[in-house]
Amino acid sequence: MQFKDKVAVVTGAASGIGKAISTMFSNEGAKLVLADINKDGLAAFEKGLKDRGTEAIGVYTDVTKLDMVKALLKAALDRFGKIDIMCNNAGIILPDDIDKASYDSIDRQIHINLYGVIYGTKEVIPIMKKQGFGHIVNTASLGGIVPEPGSAVYSATKFAIRGFDLAVRLELLGSPVGISTVCPDSTETPQLQYEAEHGGSAMSFLDKIQPPEAVAKAVAKAILKNKIEVYVPHSQGMLARLGLSLPWLLPPLWPMLEKSGAKNLERRLRTQGRK
Indicate which residues carry an active-site annotation. Answer: 154
As a whole number of angstroms, the distance between CA 188 and CA 131 comes to 36
User: Are the C-beta atoms of residues 183 and 140 closer than 8 Å to each other?
Assistant: yes
* φ, ψ at 11 (rounded to 5°): -95, 155
User: Are the C-beta atoms of residues 251 and 263 closer than 8 Å to each other?
Assistant: no
Chain centroid to Cα 242, Å, comes to: 22
What sign results for the dihedral spanned by CA atoms 102, 105, 108, 110?
negative
Give SS3 for 88.
Answer: strand
Segment holding 76, helix H or strand E: helix 66-80
DSSP 140-176: --GGGTS--TT-HHHHHHHHHHHHHHHHHHHHTTTSS
List residues bridging with 257 in a β-sheet: none
